[in-house]
Structure 1
Amino acid sequence: MSRSAPLGAPAEAQNVLAITPFRRLWISLSLSSLGDWLSLLALVSLAAIFTAESSTLVHYLAVTGVVAIKLAPAVLLSPLVGSLADRLDRRWTMVGGDVLRGLLYVSIPVVGLLSSGFALRWLLIASLLAEIVALLWTPARDATIPSLVPKRMLGQANKLTLLATYGAAPVAALLFAALASVSNLLGALVPSMANPEADVALYLNALTFFGAAIVVASLPLPKHAVSKGSLSPNRDANTIHAVLAGRTAVGSGPLVRGVVTGLAVTAAAGGLVLGVGRPHVENLGAGNAGFGVLVAALFLGLGLGAVSGPRVLKQFSRRRLLGLAVVLAALALLFTGAISDMVLSAVLALVLGLGAGLTWVSGTGLISVEVEEEQRDSAFALLHGTGRLALLLGAVLAPLAAGFAGDHEIPLGGPLAYDLYGSGLVLMAGGLIAVIAAVVAYRQANLDDPEAGPGLLPELFAALRGVTPKAEEEEEARLTGAFIVLEGGEGAGKSTQVRELTVWLRDQGFEVVGTRQPGATKLGMRLRGILLDRENSHITDRAEVLLYAADKADHVEQEILPALRRGAVVISDRYVDSLLAYQGAGRDLAVEEVGEISAWATQGLVPDLTVLLDVRPEDGLSRLGGPADRIESESVEFHARVRKGFRSLAEANPDRYLVLDAREPQEKITREIQRRLRPLLPDPIDSSSEAVTGMIPVIRPEQEA
């Protein structure tokens, strides 16, 4: 069964990055992305520093302006400049864009040193100009990618592009925190860098853009024009139009509403943290370093949730996972605003990011599976557009609302008081609204969930252990009995040993079920007739595997599992290993694929002991009496491959196998099996009977011959 590669799958990623022009473009993109994220943090911090002596409202309005300028153009203005960008030379558009952005960001601290009264206004102007340049730079980048990689690798190239774009966020945040932490030392060495602290980050930010420009300048790019259909899907489109068109095309079913609501909640929650994060950590006494740590925790959680969450909870219902992830993010946002501790705030930001990452990967996975293919592109456009709008609104409105809310001190009696800052109030209010919306999203996404287990908590705890509740119950029930299998080639003497062991175990007081494959059930008898009839030589190899698997599935469900649940000893003449040896090795089919089919058919039921009676094909076939069936009449070479397959299985798992030479006397073989079997046998008498009699059963040892 095939599956799509995860983001940045090592093998495919190495293949794409082995293409030198793309690798150089990817390095340039990584540097530019690092500069973008670093500039966001530095500019927000500078806006807060420039207005530190102003009123609370002005303080928050400055942050609002920076956030709006950094995020809004990409959402609202991309379609206006897209056609212009397509007419420009792509290489020099990227080179010029990186150089201009680097110069603009360098100019911000320089102007601040020369004219402090004009510093905030120039910060906003330069930021806006840099974002307009980025609107031209982004389409040039996206149009370049398809011309550097083969079409079959374009999907992985786009994944690596997304990885570079968003993976740079936590790196930039940690780098910003580190720069803020050592700013005092740098200020002592270079006085011009002493105040404000974020100047250092902007100088380094400019270097990243200059480095990206140098890499792209020497990049060999083809001269042919790129058609619209070949553009990267990462390219910004009219976000509002995408949202409206997506809702019209996909409809408003409960699942789509739940996914869209959940994504909007988590994106808005992240926007709230970005919008008021700098003033909030300042209120907590952390400053720029704390802001960097907070943002780094948010994005690290986002990546952790997107990559690790589905692997850890792979047995959990995807719809329930989506709902729980949204609730988790909402609660984390609520407590982030309520707690006045920097360390706990960073931990809660990590949890918020974790919930957002789980929401994103669960939502996109549900859309991929549940939405019809012809509507899937519109659905993804709806998700992307909703996420961008929610992030923008959350980041812009949060500092604005915090400024109007103001800071308050709530007396608690005596000298105690609770400082309720505008930033914390906005986070708590947003968290409360998010919790309500998260519950709505959970209910919508889980209407008529076909994957839901018996209960939310049992399914969650079972998923954390990597199993399903049903599988746990069946596993516990299976262990009350014992499952023994006799395997081997034709004429090995399996049926004889099944009969001898059945008599011996019943004499010891056990309930014994002697059975065989194929043909132990009504359906199995019909399948056995089809499979062994020499007239059915037209059966193809893969069809034969599925017929045997059908017999095993019915046999396990109808006979073996009920007997094991009763505590009986089940002895079967052939089981899964025969399918692997005969149809896998014998028919030259992939043993791993046959094993997956058989494991699914038998519900993963594994024998406690498999006895392999090893015999040479010539010797075994000579023991057969009567006309040979379809399998027995196969060539000696076929049976030799079967024997080799059995021996390979036994060598791979020696603890579960007992390999015996089928040429030995039948009585000796029986004694060897009995000796190995005794430690595996369950109690032949129920424990309640022992309590009544005060006695324990004794299994009589067989006398040695």
Structure 2
Amino acid sequence: MSRPASPGAPSEAHNVLAITPFRRLWISLSLSSLGDWLSLLALISLAVVFTADGPHLARYLAVAGVVAVRLAPAVLLSPLAGPLADRLDRRWTMVVGDVLRALLYISIPVVGLLAPGSGLVWLFVASFLAEVVALLWTPAKDSAVPSLVPRKLLGQADKLVLFTTYGTAPVAALLFAALASVSNLLGALLPGMAKPEADIALYLNGLTFLVAAAVAAGLPIPSHRPGKDDESPTRDSRILASVWNRPRGAVGGPLLTGLTLGMLATVAAGGAVIGAGRLHAEALGAGNAGFGMLFAAVFGGMALGVVSGPRILKKLSRRRMFGVGAALAAFVLLPAGAVWDMVLTVFLVLALGVCAGVAWAAGLAVVARETEEEDRGAVHAHLNGTARLTLLLSAVLAPVAAGFVGDHALPVGPLTYDLRGTGVVLSVVGLLAAVAALVAHRQVNKGDPEAGPGLIPELFAALRGVAVPVEGTEEEKPTGAFIVLEGGEGAGKSTQVRELTVWLRDQGFEVVSTRQPGATKLGMRLRALLLDRENSHITPRAEALLYAADKADHVQQEILPALRRGAVVISDRYVDSTLAYQGAGRELDPDDIRRISDWATQGLVPDLTVLLDVRPEEGLARLGGAVDRIEAESAEFHNRVRKGFLDLARQDPERYLVLDAREPQEKVTREIRRRVRAFLPDPVPSNAEAVTGMIPVIRNN
């Protein structure tokens, strides 16, 4: 059985950004997040500069101090700052918070220029104060979102805010690397700066916070009366408590242990790169530019892994995907600490980020699928809190350990090998993380209901885009081909189903042509109920559930039996119609529609989906006669449906064949046949070919 296709990145972001107040809040958040990441890079760089003439260990301790000052307050002081933040006006907390952070970060290079001896001390003080301000700013931002966004779009808004918070990290890193690459020119233009790129980054950082404050000042956030009811629902006020208070019961068994270990392995690997990256890049002769590239590689790779991993490996068990991603992320760090080439190190760190992103995406998918809804919040809190604490410890201890290891020249025959403390630490962290990831893989995959006969066969099958039969199940893996024709009203689907059916039967295939809804006895009753114009009282949610009921009966009664005996199944409409009509057309949450449909269809995904695209007004004009309940919907509804189909095709181009339904019927038929030929099964059993010595040939007509 095919596993469900991975959901793509949210295509509804433009919907929530169409709300002007939220769009302004998002702009303010984007600038603040960019400034936060840029300041972290600049402060680590300045810590190295301010300790350049001091003892060897002082440079490593200074870097560790900067990381600790930036990460520790959120973990240790949130329980104190959260209640205070909930009693302050949200809008002015954001405005004043951004202004204060701007002034604090701008003051760091100014003090370093005017009083070099006090530069490092003020760097720590200003950084700590800025983080304390951020502890008040973050809850105000989080609690402002629900007041600017309708409840039905709140999920989209939260996803966009989370993506923006971490998505600005690689942008800031690339900007810092670009500034560092022209540092000589900046130094000539701006004499007296300790490190031009770091100073300019902090000035830019201050500017972004000031602009963010100006944008936030105009937000129409309603005033509120302080009280317990106003506590922000998403603040990190219980990070340490969530670490120690592990969820109990079924969810707290081997599965959660494995998920926690695997995620900690990836976080520890990434944290070691962040903490030791600046000094390691300097050892490789790349300085700030190299550090910026390493930072961008970690976070850019994670974003790439989160988005692309579930798409590329969509046939792979999510538990195995998690274990493989975590293990590869750890193993990649081993050579990253041993090689002495900056370009190769960046590529290895990029691979680490990608694998870590794949692991996190798969791990969260496992949590969503295999934990009860009432337990899910506690599991997420536990994983998030443990990850935050691990990141803090890893990023702080990595430079400290590197400083104590020191740099050594080891004789290797006639040559010498430069053993750097940062390289040793990266490799050791990679080794420890690999051990943890392997244990996590074993724990997570105990009793995996989706697991195939073995990791390697399933992994290679997933890379080829095919599913591997699951051991220990009574159901057989479908051996036939599943083709679906989709499109709006009047697109010509029924005609093309008929043409394709006749052509394939001429080639010797067993073909089952069907439609949704209405292919079974239950389906016929549901079809009459759904399409009768007298039933205008059916609500969108009820409509979606009725379509899901038809699909569940259709797949179990008709489609799967035909596929298991090797037939070619051609369906007029399938799950994508529900996503387009009820998701886009009725404006229901597409993630909810997808989950319901995946469950109803047992995760069966077509081998090919042919989308016959036609403008609604042209398609409806072809119908003639009386129209049913769906056909009678407004032009706006049908335009949303068409856009929904095209968005689905863009998210999964390998599965889709998009054709212009305005083209002549014969041309459309030829294009469908050309695509179908590529994956058709053999119409004659292999044992029959052994007897006859004949190979079936598909005619090019």
Q: Same fold (TM over 0.5)?
A: yes
Paired amino acid for 2:30: S
Aligned mates of 1:114, 1:403 — CA distance in 2:
30
Aligned mates of 2:211, 2:667 — CA distance in 1:
54
- Which residue of structure 2 lines up, in the alignment, with residue 316 of structure 1? 316
- Which residue of structure 2 lines up, in the alignment, with residue 333 of structure 1? 333
Matched, 1:171 2:186: no
What secondary structure, in the 3-state scheme, does the structure 2 residue paired with 1:315 have? coil
Shift of 1:460: 1.1
Paired amino acid for 1:373: E
Aligned mates of 1:79, 1:417 — CA distance in 2:
52
Aligned mates of 2:228, 2:667 — CA distance in 1:
54
Aligned mates of 1:242, 1:160 — CA distance in 2:
25
Paired amino acid for 1:463: A
- Which residue of structure 2 lines up, in the alignment, with residue 662 of structure 1? none
Aligned mates of 1:319, 1:155 — CA distance in 2:
25
What secondary structure, in the 3-state scheme, does the structure 1 residue paired with 2:35 have? helix
Q: 1:197 to 1:447 in 2, by over 3 A?
A: same
Matched, 1:102 2:102: yes
Q: 1:6 to 1:75 in 2, by over 3 A?
A: farther
Q: Deviations over 1:518-556 (max 9, x none)?
A: xxxxxx9xx99x999xxx999978788876765535763
Aligned mates of 2:39, 2:696 — CA distance in 1:
78
Paired amino acid for 2:669: P
Q: 1:515 to 1:363 in 2, by over 3 A?
A: closer
Aligned mates of 1:234, 1:252 — CA distance in 2:
23
Q: 1:552 aligns with which of 554, 558, 564?
A: 558
Aligned mates of 2:15, 2:418 — CA distance in 1:
55
- Which residue of structure 2 lines up, in the alignment, with residue 36 of structure 1? 36
- Which residue of structure 1 lines up, in the alignment, with residue 126 of structure 2? 126
Aligned mates of 2:90, 2:403 — CA distance in 1:
42
Q: 1:154 to 1:227 in 2, by over 3 A?
A: farther
What secondary structure, in the 3-state scheme, does the structure 2 residue paired with 1:192 have? coil
Matched, 1:238 2:199: no
Residues 187 and 196 of structure 2 are in contact (CA less than 8 Å); yes or no, is this contact kept in structure 1? no
Shift of 1:654: 2.3
- Which residue of structure 1 lines up, in the alignment, with residue 449 of structure 2? 450
Aligned mates of 1:233, 1:73 — CA distance in 2:
19
Larger displacement relative to structure 2 (422-431 or 228-237): 228-237
Unpaired runs of at least 5, structure 2: 471-475, 483-493, 531-545, 586-592, 609-624, 628-660, 674-681
Aligned pairs (5 A) from 1:425-504: 425-470=424-469
Paired amino acid for 2:155: G
Aligned mates of 1:238, 1:216 — CA distance in 2:
27
Let me know the Cα RMSD of the aligned residues: 4.6
Q: 1:475 to 1:230 in 2, by over 3 A?
A: same
Shift of 1:239: 0.9
Residues 5 and 311 of structure 2 are in contact (CA less than 8 Å); yes or no, is this contact kept in structure 1? no
Shift of 1:209: 1.1
Q: 1:238 to 1:650 in 2, by over 3 A?
A: same
Q: 1:650 to 1:243 in 2, by over 3 A?
A: farther
How many residues end up aligned between the 2 structures?
Answer: 583
Shift of 1:221: 2.2
Aligned mates of 2:349, 2:277 — CA distance in 1:
10
- Which residue of structure 2 lines up, in the alignment, with residue 666 of structure 1? none
- Which residue of structure 2 lines up, in the alignment, with residue 407 of structure 1? 407
Aligned pairs (5 A) from 1:233-632: 233-248=233-248, 252-414=252-414, 416-470=415-469, 552-553=558-559, 556=562, 560-561=565-566
Q: RCO higher in 1 or 2 (8 Å CA, sep ≥ 6)?
A: 2
Q: Deviations over 1:75-114 (max 9, x none)?
A: 1101111122222222222222111111111111111112
Aligned pairs (5 A) from 1:119-158: 119-158=119-158
Q: 1:546 to 1:354 in 2, by over 3 A?
A: closer
Unpaired runs of at least 5, structure 1: 480-487, 518-523, 565-569, 607-635, 639-646, 659-679, 699-705
- Which residue of structure 2 lines up, in the alignment, with residue 181 of structure 1? 181
Q: 1:167 to 1:516 in 2, by over 3 A?
A: closer
Matched, 1:22 2:22: yes
Paired amino acid for 1:325: G
Q: TM-score, normalised by structure 1?
A: 0.72
Residues 316 and 462 of structure 2 are in contact (CA less than 8 Å); yes or no, is this contact kept in structure 1? yes
Shift of 1:247: 3.5
Paired amino acid for 1:47: A
Paired amino acid for 2:442: R
Residues 82 and 139 of structure 1 are in contact (CA less than 8 Å); yes or no, is this contact kept in structure 2? yes
Residues 173 and 295 of structure 2 are in contact (CA less than 8 Å); yes or no, is this contact kept in structure 1? yes
Aligned mates of 2:383, 2:152 — CA distance in 1:
25
Percent of residue pairs bearing the same amino acid type: 53
Aligned mates of 1:605, 1:71 — CA distance in 2:
47
What secondary structure, in the 3-state scheme, does the structure 1 residue paired with 2:416 have? strand
Shift of 1:438: 0.7
Paired amino acid for 1:654: T
Aligned mates of 2:666, 2:279 — CA distance in 1:
65
Residues 138 and 235 of structure 1 are in contact (CA less than 8 Å); yes or no, is this contact kept in structure 2? yes
What secondary structure, in the 3-state scheme, does the structure 2 residue paired with 1:110 have? helix
Q: TM-score, normalised by structure 2?
A: 0.73
Aligned mates of 1:308, 1:516 — CA distance in 2:
34
Shift of 1:686: 5.4
Q: 1:427 to 1:539 in 2, by over 3 A?
A: same
Paired amino acid for 2:429: G
Shift of 1:130: 1.1
Aligned mates of 2:229, 2:334 — CA distance in 1:
43
Residues 45 and 198 of structure 1 are in contact (CA less than 8 Å); yes or no, is this contact kept in structure 2? yes
Aligned mates of 1:284, 1:245 — CA distance in 2:
43
What secondary structure, in the 3-state scheme, does the structure 1 residue paired with 2:449 have? coil
Paired amino acid for 2:168: A
Which of structures 1 and 2 has the bigger CA Rg?
1
Residues 183 and 200 of structure 1 are in contact (CA less than 8 Å); yes or no, is this contact kept in structure 2? no
Aligned mates of 1:77, 1:255 — CA distance in 2:
31
Aligned mates of 1:342, 1:589 — CA distance in 2:
51
Residues 147 and 226 of structure 1 are in contact (CA less than 8 Å); yes or no, is this contact kept in structure 2? no
Residues 91 and 216 of structure 2 are in contact (CA less than 8 Å); yes or no, is this contact kept in structure 1? yes
Q: 1:540 to 1:234 in 2, by over 3 A?
A: closer
Residues 113 and 193 of structure 2 are in contact (CA less than 8 Å); yes or no, is this contact kept in structure 1? no
Aligned mates of 1:259, 1:311 — CA distance in 2:
21
Aligned mates of 1:93, 1:166 — CA distance in 2:
22
Aligned mates of 1:232, 1:4 — CA distance in 2:
32
Q: 1:194 to 1:363 in 2, by over 3 A?
A: same
Shift of 1:172: 0.5
Aligned mates of 2:383, 2:178 — CA distance in 1:
35
Paired amino acid for 1:465: R
Aligned mates of 2:124, 2:696 — CA distance in 1:
87
- Which residue of structure 1 lines up, in the alignment, with residue 489 of structure 2? none
Q: 1:210 to 1:467 in 2, by over 3 A?
A: same
Residues 511 and 684 of structure 1 are in contact (CA less than 8 Å); yes or no, is this contact kept in structure 2? no
Q: 1:652 to 1:441 in 2, by over 3 A?
A: farther
Q: 1:229 to 1:655 in 2, by over 3 A?
A: farther
Residues 41 and 292 of structure 2 are in contact (CA less than 8 Å); yes or no, is this contact kept in structure 1? yes
Q: Deviations over 1:460-486 (max 9, x none)?
A: 122122221349x9788889xxxxxxx
Residues 333 and 352 of structure 1 are in contact (CA less than 8 Å); yes or no, is this contact kept in structure 2? yes
Aligned mates of 1:57, 1:546 — CA distance in 2:
65
Shift of 1:688: 4.8
Paired amino acid for 1:556: A
Q: 1:599 to 1:361 in 2, by over 3 A?
A: closer
Aligned mates of 2:245, 2:556 — CA distance in 1:
47
Larger displacement relative to structure 2 (680-689 or 83-92): 680-689
Shift of 1:655: 4.2
Residues 61 and 403 of structure 1 are in contact (CA less than 8 Å); yes or no, is this contact kept in structure 2? yes
What secondary structure, in the 3-state scheme, does the structure 2 residue paired with 1:278 have? helix
- Which residue of structure 1 lines up, in the alignment, with residue 535 of structure 2? none
Paired amino acid for 1:97: G
Q: 1:655 to 1:99 in 2, by over 3 A?
A: same
